[in-house]
Structure 1
Amino acid sequence: MGEKPKRLHIGLTGSILIALGLGLLCGVIFHYLVPAGTVRDDVFVNGIFYVVGQGFIRLMQMLVVPLVFCSIVCGASSIGDTKTLGTIGLKTLAFYLCTTALAVTVALSIGNLINPGRGVDMSSMVASDTSTLSGSANTDVSFTDTLLNIIPKNPIQALASGDMLAIIFFALFVGIILSTMGRKVEVVHRFFEQFNDIMMKMTSMVMYVAPIGVFCLLARTFANIGFDAFLPMVKYMLGVLLALAVQCLVVYMVLLTVFARINPMKFLKKFVSVMMFAFSTATSNATIPLNIETLEKKMGVDRRISSFTIPLGATINMDGTSIMQGVAVVFTAQLFGVQLGPVEYATVIATATLASIGTAGVPSVGLITLSMVFNSVGLPLEGIALIMGIDRILDMTRTAVNITGDAVCTTIVAKRAGRMDTDVFNDPDAGRELDDVKAA
């Protein structure tokens, strides 16, 4: 008897891509071929598509506050290990946060330069929700008040109302205290870790219905405006890729030259294999072992440094993810006609930077924290549906940028601390065995 043919397995990413294509096709058919009337407009476009799509949006909203709070508490509590490295740990934390803030700034600048969401007005599609969602963006609040509002008067009220900057501040505070108290609060620490596991499991369950949600949201979008929404999606992709290239090939290389005084081209040549591995897996966590080995054997970085900074970076340093969020903010704001000013952009930079602390190093988790960034400046979450279908390619690219940022920071910190062997770095044959193992 012959072997049974293997069943074709389509993963979540493939399902979402198929849903993207089918939703686009269905929406175009409804827009151009189905005559307007009760069946098209009331039953499908503003009935089934709207209810199911908004149901998926609400599921994502349901996850945001508990997921972000627990993940940031757990991420901050793990920072207690910085005591083992003293000032090196503090410098690493400061460097990670600064490069993430710089990455968001680059993304917002490029987003406003190419204007990915201009030319299409989708504000009428969320007219009933936008007035509520964009309230914080249209309110005239001074920058000093925005800074003060980061500190919550009532943390429970902040959690209930979804005040993201205040939630992040309180979560960081709790996590840092847990890390300093150690074994005294082991039960509480374990509670947050277990509750975080529950939220991650819940996120996975919600993502199982993502293809249905994406299909309905995109079908309704294209049923209303036809092909007009296609060009902004392409411009959004190009904007994210351009911002990622600037961060990786310009910002990081300048930092290496200025702070480490090493040849950035040599660094890229030795590190490219790790970047390709990260691109193929789309997960920072899976790249940690190879990253540490490469830094030690090819760059000459002390393993005692890299074994601390690389896992920490995989937890809190998500420059590529922050870039996606920055471009997505500009894209969605322009698409739905929400005006953002300097205060809102400063809020995006702060929120995306702090949110990176709680972003797990697994594929596409940045889409969940993106909804938190949108909430912080009052953007409608419908924009995420357009982004979700094309996110996998961008996710692979930004993961490569994420792990490159970790390595650049580690190299700079090690060099300035006298924990880097420059002879190994300058040796073109150093670490050759890593490439041989990979080739085998």
Structure 2
Amino acid sequence: MTERTAQMTAGPTPAPAGGGGRSALILMAALVVGLVLGILVAGSGDGIKEPLVQTAGLIGGLWLDALRMTVIPLIVALLVVGVVGGADAARAGGLAAKAVAWFVGFYIFSAIFGAVMTPAILSVWPLPEVAAQALQAGLAGVDQSATAAAVPTVADFFKTIIPPNPIAAAANDQILPLVFFTAVFAFALARVDPARRGSVLGFFEGVADAMLRVIGWVLALAPIGVLALAFAVGAGAGGSALGAVVHYVVVISILGIILTVLGFAIAIAVAGFAPGRFFRAITPPSVVALSTRSSLASLPAMLQAAADLRIRQRDADVVLPLAVALFRATGPAMNIGVALYVAHWLGVDISWTGYIAGIAVAAMASLGAVSLPGQISFVTSIAPISIALGVPIEPLALLLALETIPDTFRTLGNVVLDVAVTGAVSEHEHEHDVLADGG
């Protein structure tokens, strides 16, 4: 997920281990090799298979625990830094405030869209039952009780949103109340005098930097962990595992494609661009996005597209860099889509309170998704959503290796929506100026 490597605002420094093309290929190779070896071992006797599966499960489990230990402190630190940065940007001027309002509003829509569309797609094209059962057998050692216990009952849902003890909420993996408290704290911190909030913000940036460094070390061992976990799944699921891989990639990519089409609709219906003109202007940045999987790398081409669309230069110079820094339009939908796919995969039933919690976390956690290498952002963005939904996070370690193709559609959708929203914000700003001049 190279898409999330942009760092346009002050914030934590990305860890050196990252989501480059070479790293993605190594991870994918580890996944394929692990699955193939597991499939080959699946037909052997238990005297050979069981010791190998137990050893692989132990290695993969230790690696996953090391990855999981960074999630809570990292998501808290990144959310504080992201919210404060967004609030500062909104106060910088009316245009920036409107842009941030668009970003937040679209985050909420994107999360709801993913929560509704993913089950709809899976109802039309479900994972074949044989493959689902085989994969469940391959992950038979996954303990679902810990994450399922994190979802409140209907009676307790609303009163648990506000945590009486945020530290206890973090310790018990109660993600929604923890994220709620963190967001409230961050908005309050953003209103503190800059001279006094600097040390507090610096603390959270330091925590994020340290956790990114730790997770970078853990991800350096990702090929070993993914290979071990894939071997265990292949040994339990057999050849069905390979078909499930293709099914997952297609389902998650569809979410990004639909949001990209929605970006065109916003550009035409809200920003008022002619369809052909917008298509011609957005083609160069789209090509860059598809080839690099990076919004940051696409920014120069997006600025040129804005000029071709006759968006005022001063508007584009403010909104587009802000969008690259803060706006991950496809993130909430595709992140909650991954978590819901895992639920479908493992046969986990999600309550309506779980859906609400997952949507809220998907929308709010996206504010902290800036400045992250791709592999790190996959875990830190989706693990909190999975916990809020009551879905085990162990399968994420395998899906991490498959993110290259969905991430291409993430980036394409983000670039199209960045330019479309810039046009929409600029159009409304222009109308305001015309009315003001006429008055």
The superposition leaves residues 187-219 of structure 1 with CA deviations (integer Å, 9 ceiling, x where unpaired) of 222222222222222222221111111111111
Larger relative contact order, structure 1 or 2 (CA cutoff 8 Å, min sep 6): 2
Matching residue within 328, 345, 348 for 2:355 = 345
Structure 2: gaps spanning 5 or more residues: 1-19, 434-439
Q: Specify the alignment match of 1:426 in structure 2.
A: none
Q: Give the AA of the match of 1:307.
A: D
Q: Specify the alignment match of 1:174 in structure 2.
A: 185
Q: Which moved more, 1:377-386 or 1:306-315?
A: 306-315
Distance 1:10 1:284 in 2: 15
Q: Report the TM-score, using the length of structure 2 for normalisation.
A: 0.84
Q: Specify the alignment match of 1:438 in structure 2.
A: none
Q: Specify the alignment match of 2:253 in structure 1.
A: 241
Distance 1:130 1:340 in 2: 12
Distance 1:221 1:242 in 2: 25
Matched, 1:132 2:146: yes
Distance 2:187 2:115 in 1: 30
Matching residue within 62, 82, 85 for 2:93 = 85
Q: Specify the alignment match of 1:432 in structure 2.
A: none
Q: Give the AA of the match of 2:49.
A: R
Cα deviation for residue 147 of structure 1 reads: 4.5
Matched, 1:12 2:20: no
Q: Specify the alignment match of 1:430 in structure 2.
A: none
Matching residue within 90, 101, 104 for 1:97 = 104
Contact 2:89 2:97 in 1 (8 A): no
Cα deviation for residue 74 of structure 1 reads: 0.8
Distance 1:50 1:417 in 2: 56
Q: Report the TM-score, using the length of structure 1 for normalisation.
A: 0.84
The superposition leaves residues 146-193 of structure 1 with CA deviations (integer Å, 9 ceiling, x where unpaired) of 344332222222222222222222222333333332122222222222
Q: Specify the alignment match of 1:6 in structure 2.
A: none
Cα deviation for residue 262 of structure 1 reads: 2.4
Instruction: Output aligned runs, 1:321-400, within 5 Å.
Output: 321-361=331-371, 362-368=373-379, 369-400=381-412
Structure 1: gaps spanning 5 or more residues: 1-8, 422-440
Distance 1:179 1:288 in 2: 28
Instruction: Output aligned runs, 1:17-416, within 5 Å.
Output: 17-32=28-43, 34-37=44-47, 39-41=48-50, 43-46=51-54, 48-79=55-86, 80-86=88-94, 88-115=95-122, 116-119=126-129, 120-121=132-133, 122-123=135-136, 125-126=139-140, 129-137=143-151, 140-142=153-155, 145-180=156-191, 181-249=193-261, 251-295=262-306, 297-361=307-371, 362-368=373-379, 369-416=381-428
Cα deviation for residue 419 of structure 1 reads: 7.7
Distance 2:265 2:429 in 1: 19
Contact 1:117 1:232 in 2 (8 A): yes
Contact 1:315 1:357 in 2 (8 A): no
Contact 2:34 2:226 in 1 (8 A): yes
Distance 1:342 1:265 in 2: 42
Structure 2 residue matching 1:319: 3-state secondary structure? coil
* Count of aligned residue pairs for this structure pair: 403
Q: 1:384 to 1:83 in 2, by over 3 A?
A: same
Q: Give the AA of the match of 2:61.
A: Q
Distance 1:150 1:312 in 2: 30
